Amino acid sequence: MRDRYIPYMNWVDIKDKIDSGINTIVLPMGATEQHGRHAPLGTDSFIALEMSVRIARIINALVAPTLTIGYSPQHMSFSGSMTLSVDTFRRLVSEMVESLMKHGLKKFVFLNAHGGNSSPTDITAKDLKHKYEEDIQLMVVDMIGIQNSPELKEKVEKELGEKLSDPWGAHAGEQESSAVMFFDEELVDKDRVSNPFVPEEYLNISRDPDVHTIIFNLSKYTETGTWGDASNASAKQGDLFYKYLSHKLAEKINLGWEKT
Ligand SMILES: [Zn+2]
Angle at 84 between CA 82 and CA 87, to 5 degrees: 170
pLDDT for the residue 197? 74
User: For residue range 102-126, what is the model confidence (pLDDT) as tens digits?
Assistant: 999 999 999 999 989 999 999 999 9
CATH number of 6-256: 3.40.50.10310
pLDDT for the residue 127? 98
Cα 243 to its chain centre, rounded Å, is 15
- What is this structure's pTM? 0.93
Distance 147 CA to ligand 1 centre (A): 11
User: For residue range 237-259, what is the model confidence (pLDDT) as tens digits?
Assistant: 999 999 999 999 999 999 988 87
Distance 176 CA to ligand 1 centre (A): 6
Domain-wise residue ranges, the chain: 6-256
Distance 36 CA to ligand 1 centre (A): 10
pLDDT for the residue 21? 96
pLDDT for the residue 181? 97
Does residue 214 carry a pLDDT above 80? Answer: no
Burial of 149 (0-12, 13-18, 19+ CB in 10 A): middle
Distance 99 CA to ligand 1 centre (A): 28
In angstroms, the CA 257 to CA 183 distance is 30
Across the chain, mean pLDDT equals: 92
In angstroms, the CA 163 to CA 9 distance is 40
In angstroms, the CA 50 to CA 54 distance is 6
**Residue 178 pLDDT level (bands cut at 50, 70, 90):** very high
Overall average pLDDT of the 224-234 stretch? 88
How is 98-163 classified by DSSP, letter by letter? HHHHTTT--EEEEEE--GGGHHHHHHHHHHHHHHHGGG-EEEEEEHHHHTT-HHHHHHHHHHHTSP
